[in-house]
Amino acid sequence: MGAAEPLIVIENLRVEFAQDGQRAIALRGVDISLYKNEVHGLVGESGSGKTITAMSIVGLLPRQALKLLSGSIRYEGRELLSRSEEELRSYRGSKIAMIFQEPAKYLNPAFTVGEQIRETIREHMGLDRSQANARARELLALVGLGNDGRVLAAYPHELSSGMKQRAMIAIAISCNPDFLIADEPTTSLDVTLQAQILKLLRTLKDMKKMGVLFISHDLSVIKEIADRVSVIYAGKIVESTSVTRLFGHPMHPYTRLLLMSIPDARRKGRRLAAIAGQVLDARADPQGCVFAPRCPMARDLCFKESPTFIAHEQDHMSACHFAEEAWKL
């Protein structure tokens, strides 16, 4: 599990985008502590801010439209938000790496897999071509793509979806990062390939003692791979605890409703549970709880005052005025 001190600490991160006089609030208060040798799941509906959180950590958000309202992101105690692009580039790959959604979009079709892995290695590790090539072969073998050179010489279009994802993982871990961000890495894969990728990420985490931020909208996947989970809604972390506590004793109504919406063979023939209403408009900035308009437990206080993100027993954090009642839903 996590070390005594977190590797990355995100505190009260609030971000908005502004263009042509319009604004969209992307993050409304993200608080997460991320540790080495731990898989931390970040789960929520599409558009909830999962990828924006990840992009904020590695400094890949478009700065021309970005406005940082508040917050801090510290890596080993050092602030990342105030660093220049050149300084952030030295962190990417060597200290913090990222696996993006849909690898076909991020693997350059004009270059072989080997060339793309070698480029990353030579940029961050200073190895010569021969050393980088040997390292690339080693990495492909590590992620289950063999070491006979065929994948090394292949172009992305010659690989299956699962092979592309493994190649992306090889690139991400090529420089032995301390922390790996996996953004929906199994979304486009069938269940067999999904299971293989999850097993691979777990194996690599254990082998290299990396921290992993695993982003997904699928609670069943999170349950399988995560040690700890944070639930995000409308750009705000509403609950964070161990995976066992989250699935056994959720303390936020949104989490509880998400869990109730998971398909279950024991409820065959019954309509799936759904969360009523619409996700909060990105332009809105309510003074109360962001989930209040959809919450079956909401009371007057919920619309007037934003709940504080506080700790309950066993390091269980939630942002709900009536957290102790949520599990009864």
Residue 94: which of 171, 180, 175 has the closest Cα?
Answer: 175
The predicted-structure confidence for 37-62, as pLDDT tens digits, reads as follows 999 999 998 889 999 999 999 998 88
- The pLDDT of 171-190, averaged and rounded, is 89
Q: Say whether both 165 and 313 belong to one domain.
A: no
Overall number of domains in the chain: 2
| 2 within some domain | no
Q: Say whether both 195 and 163 belong to one domain.
A: no
The predicted-structure confidence for 81-92, as pLDDT tens digits, reads as follows 988 888 888 888
More confident residue, 323 or 110: 110
Q: Say whether both 126 and 52 belong to one domain.
A: no
The predicted-structure confidence for 207-223, as pLDDT tens digits, reads as follows 999 999 999 988 989 99
Structure pTM? Answer: 0.90
Contacts of 120 (CB under 8 A, 6+ apart): 93, 171, 174, 175
Res. 190 pLDDT band, cuts 50 70 90: confident
Q: Say whether both 86 and 234 belong to one domain.
A: yes
| 104 within some domain | no
- The pLDDT of 133-155, averaged and rounded, is 91
Domain of 215 in residue numbering reads as: 8-95+177-326
Q: Say whether both 72 and 147 belong to one domain.
A: no
| 279 within some domain | yes
| Residue showing tokens 């959180």 | 53
Q: Say whether both 138 and 40 belong to one domain.
A: no
Least confident of 188-197, 258-267, 304-313: 258-267
Q: Say whether both 28 and 157 belong to one domain.
A: no
DSSP 97-135: EEEPSSGGGTS-TTS-HHHHHHHHHHHHH---HHHHHHH
In 3-state terms, what secondary structure has residue 145? coil
Q: Which of 144, 159, 175 is the last residue of a domain?
A: 175
> Could you give the CA distance from residue 325 to residue 329 in angstroms, rounded to a whole number?
8
Q: Say whether both 285 and 190 belong to one domain.
A: yes
Give the CATH number for residue 279.
Answer: 3.40.50.300
Distances in Å between the alpha carbon of 314 and those of 32, 97, 240, 241, 255?
Answer: 16, 30, 11, 8, 17
| 1 within some domain | no
Q: Say whether both 170 and 318 belong to one domain.
A: no
Q: Say whether both 237 and 258 belong to one domain.
A: yes
Question: What percent of the chain is modeled with pLDDT above 70?
Answer: 96
Q: Say whether both 158 and 117 belong to one domain.
A: yes
Q: Say whether both 84 and 140 belong to one domain.
A: no
